[in-house]
Amino acid sequence: MSILNISATEVSIFYLVGFPGMESAHIWIFIPICLLYTVAILGNCTILFFIKSEPSLHEPMYYFLSMLALSDLGLSISSLPTMLKVLLFNSPDISPNICFAQEFFIHEFSAMESSVLLIMSFDRYIAICNPLRYTSILTSARVLQIGLAFSLKNVLLILPFPVTLMHLRYCKKNLLSHSYCLHQDVMKLACSDNKFNVIYGLFVALTGVLDITFIFMSYVLILRAVLGIASQRERLKVLSTCVSHICAVLIFYVPVISLAVIHRLASRSSPISKILMADIFLLVPPVMNPIIYCVKSQQMRNVILEKLCQKQN
């Protein structure tokens, strides 16, 4: 049976894609991908475990880090089942409803990660520019309120994606471009009017642009405050507290921007480059964020080493 449905009847199955032209090597491609998923899930679970169990880490910065770890976990778990299904079991079919659910969770956790990175930039701004009021501004209750508010905002922001996709008709094409479902990918398959999806997709993308704009503005204010410090050693010490967050921002946004550019230059870019960039966007941040924060945060590193030494003794 051909995976391209060109009949006039409405399709009941979508088909995912692994790496076109490399189907015989899917099992070998899956091995490093599976390793990355394992590192991402174990790394973020480790972060959550130590933040929950260690009282010295019950601070705003680490509460926000736990939100980032939850977002990374959600992103990994949302895309893993279909990637496993396509690459390991060579079973590319997926029902539309499951596809809509998956794209909701992938976009929801991506939006949440963007929001958490924005919140963490505000955290760094307050810690550096207003350190005496840091604990009074970012109380545990306020951190929880911020987390819940942004979570609700992102659910409401992304919910129209699956709802509107469910009301479109799919009657000619059913072949997707990745081994998981994305909104911009699914809506292109519709044979009914999808103008609302296009416009709303651009609106959601603009909220991401706003996030990165506010992050940039936060660092402009931080840099201005740091340049007012007389001692160069103190300047470097203050800036070093931002390194982990800056790395997390770059790891998240560089693949997003690169993917947008590749899709814009679709006629001149190969399908493999799109697939690789999309996979990097889903896999690299969840893998690298726990490593970055464990390596760069001395407090986190000391807690982990202390716990490991206790177990050995």
Tens of pLDDT, residue by residue over 64-88, are 999 999 999 999 999 999 998 998 8
Q: Say if CB 265 and CB 277 are below 8 A apart.
A: no
Find the angle CA(162)-CA(111)-CA(57) to the nearest 5 degrees: 135
Distance CA 276, CA 262 (A): 11
Q: Say if CB 177 and CB 274 are below 8 A apart.
A: yes
Q: Taking the model in full, what pTM does it have? A: 0.90
Q: What does the pLDDT look like over 256-265, one tens digit per residue?
A: 888 777 766 6
For residue 266, pLDDT over 70 is answered with: no
More confident residue, 215 or 235: 215
Quote the longest CA-to-CA distance of the chain.
Answer: 72
pLDDT band at 36 (very low <50, low <70, confident <90, very high): very high
pLDDT of residue 263: 66
Q: Say if CB 254 and CB 262 are below 8 A apart.
A: no
pLDDT band at 5 (very low <50, low <70, confident <90, very high): very low
Q: What is the mean pLDDT of residues 163-182?
A: 89
SS (H, E, C) 92-122: CEECHHHHHHHHHHHHHHHHHHHHHHHHHHH
Q: What does the pLDDT look like over 231-260, one tens digit per residue?
A: 888 888 888 888 889 999 999 998 888 877
Distance CA 150, CA 117 (A): 11
Instruction: List Cα–Cα distances, 3 to 175, 186, 205, in angstroms.
Output: 7, 15, 31
Find the angle CA(29)-CA(98)-CA(159) to the nearest 5 degrees: 110
pLDDT of residue 265: 65
